[in-house]
Amino acid sequence: MSTMKLASTVLVAILVAGVTGCGVQYGAGTNGDATIVISLSGTPTAGDGSSADGRTTVTGSSQTTGAQPETEADLPSPGATTARPGVTEQSQSNQDNRAERVIRIGQGCLGAKYTFGAPPSMAPKVFDCSSFTQYVYSKVGVRLPRTATQQAEKGQKVTGALTKADLVFFHISSRKQPIGHVGIAVGDGRVLHAISKGVTFSSLSGTWKKILLEERSRRVL
């Protein structure tokens, strides 16, 4: 190799080393050309032109530089996924939060007056039983129809124990239809509903227990 060509090769190696922060070694190659060895840190990527120990060889006036590997921070952790983590738990948490909101909104209406057949336009000052439930659930994004009988067809049938914010239905003997009243289960064996004395809590025992249509309870959240 000519002196000028060797000097050019060494200069290229020094420039590469200066950019990458690598060490430089040089000596004679197998074909008589000068061989410059630049030591790189990290693990080479297959096919990147690097040697097995992470070094890049520059021979003559040509240069091959190994691609820098990803750092540990760039790599996904074991078992990482792009899906939203804990989606099932999150869905349950959202449902619980909405149920608590339903109860809080209903509690905010305590004492509101009752008028049979009160239209939705009178909310939140005046309700009947189904306009009350319709109003409360609308505040958490659930659209319910106007009457108790219609609301009993929404959501899913409750097959086990009641949970907070389930709709509960009652038979009123003075009404012609099987379902004559609707309220909101709030836990602890109580219901929040609009009755003749206004929006109030009642215990699901005694008279209310006797007329409760347990098989018609619905879960709409």
Q: 119-164: per-residue pLDDT in tens?
A: 999 999 999 999 999 999 999 999 999 999 999 999 999 999 999 9
Give the C-alpha separation, 193 to 185, whole Å. Answer: 9
Q: Where are the domains of the chain?
A: 3-66, 95-219
Give the C-alpha separation, 127 to 134, whole Å. Answer: 10
Confidence band (pLDDT; 50, 70, 90) for 176?
confident
User: What pLDDT is attached to residue 8?
Assistant: 53
Q: 49-87: per-residue pLDDT in tens?
A: 434 444 444 444 444 444 444 333 333 333 333 333 444
CATH superfamily for domain 95-219: endopeptidase domain like (from Nostoc punctiforme) (3.90.1720.10)
For residue 193, what is the DSSP state? E
Side-chain half-sphere exposure of 195, counting CA atoms within 13 A: 14
For residue 51, what is the DSSP state? -
User: What pLDDT is attached to residue 96?
Assistant: 83
Tokens of 161: 């124990």
**Residue range 112-120: average pLDDT?**
96
Give the C-alpha separation, 183 to 191, whole Å. Answer: 6
Helix (H) or strand (E) holding 122: none
User: What pLDDT is attached to residue 89?
Assistant: 65
The answer to whether the bond into 124 is cis (omega within 30° of 0) is: yes
Answer yes or no: is pLDDT of 168 > 50. Answer: yes
Q: Which pTM value belongs to this model? A: 0.59
User: What pLDDT is attached to residue 150?
Assistant: 97
CA nearest neighbour of 49 among 199, 133, 59: 59
Q: Which of 22, 109, 171, 181 is catalytic?
A: 181
For residue 125, what is the DSSP state? T
Active site (annotated) includes residue 171: no
Confidence band (pLDDT; 50, 70, 90) for 93?
confident
Answer yes or no: is pLDDT of 107 > 60. Answer: yes
**Residue range 23-44: average pLDDT?**
46
| pLDDT > 70 fraction of the chain, expressed in percent and rounded | 58
Q: Which of 22, 109, 171, 193 is catalytic?
A: 193
